[in-house]
Amino acid sequence: MGFTEILGYSAGVITTLTFLPQVIKTWKERSAKDVSLWMFIIAATNEVMWIGYGILKDDWVIILTNAVVLILSVTMIGLKLKYK
Amino acid sequence: MGFTEILGYSAGVITTLTFLPQVIKTWKERSAKDVSLWMFIIAATNEVMWIGYGILKDDWVIILTNAVVLILSVTMIGLKLKYK
């Protein structure tokens, strides 16, 4: 595996974790007033589209990475609705 | 262009716009207390990795979409530091 592939896979792993700090922060502080609900509604809808694309292309990397982001997005929507 | 390609390109366009509602909300409300700074630092670093990957693969779709997200992420980091 060359540098390009290592960079691509590393970038993919980090992408899946992007929303994690926001979920942890909101979970701990129980406040989400300043967080955009629409950002996570758009993200969740978008992940469903990517998962559909991954299924059609039979690409498990796309399916699994987007499934992780979908779970974090839906969690964040729940936290936002709970803590406003 | 078949359904799969249309779905993929549509998903890509929506991905670039994910952070826009957060930038607009923070810009208007001048408050970012509940927003995770780390989310956008991770996102910005990640976009630089994706742009590097796109350059190495000579893939302009990857370069351009991630450049848009990088601009939105850096804008959001600036807003977060300004409005705390």
At residue B22, the pLDDT reads 97
CA distances from B50 to A51, B29, B58 (A): 20, 31, 12
Average pLDDT over residues A24-49: 97
Instruction: Answer yes or no: do A14 and B42 touch at CB < 8 A.
Output: yes
Does residue A82 sit at the B interface (CB-CB below 8 Å)? no
Predicted structure pTM score: 0.91
Q: Which residues of A touch B24 (CB under 8 A)?
A: 36
Helical axes A37-57 vs B20-29, angle rounded to 10°: 180
The residues, ordered by sequence, that sit 6+ positions from B22 with a Cβ below 8 Å of its Cβ are A35, A36, A39, B35, B76
Separation of alpha carbons B38 and A20, rounded Å: 9
User: At a CB cut-off of 8 Å and minimum separation 6, what does B55 contact?
Assistant: B63
How far is A77 from B18, CA to CA, in rounded Å? Answer: 14
Q: A interface mutation test: which of B42, B68, B81 has the most A CBs within 10 A?
A: B42
Cα first-last separation, chain B: 46
Nearest Cβ partner for A42 among B8, B14, B57 = B14
Looking at residue B53, what is its pLDDT? Answer: 94
Mean of per-residue pLDDT scores for chain A: 95
Chain B residue numbers touching A29 (CB-CB < 8 A): 34
The answer, for A45 touching chain B at a CB cutoff of 8 Å, is: yes
CA B60 from chain center: how many Å?
16
Amino acid at A34: D
Structural domain range at position B36: 3-83
What pLDDT, on a 0 to 100 scale, did the predictor assign at position B3? 95
User: What local confidence, expressed as pLDDT, does residue A44 receive?
Assistant: 97
Instruction: Say if residue A1's pLDDT is above 90.
Output: no
CATH number at residue B74: 1.20.1280.290
Spatial distance between the Cα atoms of A78 and A75, rounded to a whole number of angstroms: 5
Candidates A24, A40, A25; CA nearest to A74 is: A40
Decide if pLDDT at A38 tops 90.
yes
User: Would you call B16 helix, strand, or coil by DSSP?
Assistant: helix
Quick check: B1 contacting A, CB < 8 Å?
no
| pLDDT tens per residue across all 84 residues of chain B | 899 999 999 999 999 999 999 999 999 999 999 999 999 999 999 999 999 999 999 998 899 999 999 999 999 999 999 998
Q: What is the pLDDT of residue B49?
A: 96
Q: Which residues on A lie below 8 Å from B33 (Cβ)?
A: 31, 33-34
How many structural domains does chain B have?
1
Nearest residue in A to B18, CA atom: A39
More confident: B61 or A34: A34
Question: Across the interface, do B49 and A3 touch by the CB < 8 Å criterion?
Answer: no
Confidence of residue A22 (pLDDT cuts 50, 70, 90): very high
How does residue A15 score in pLDDT terms, banded at 50, 70 and 90?
A: very high
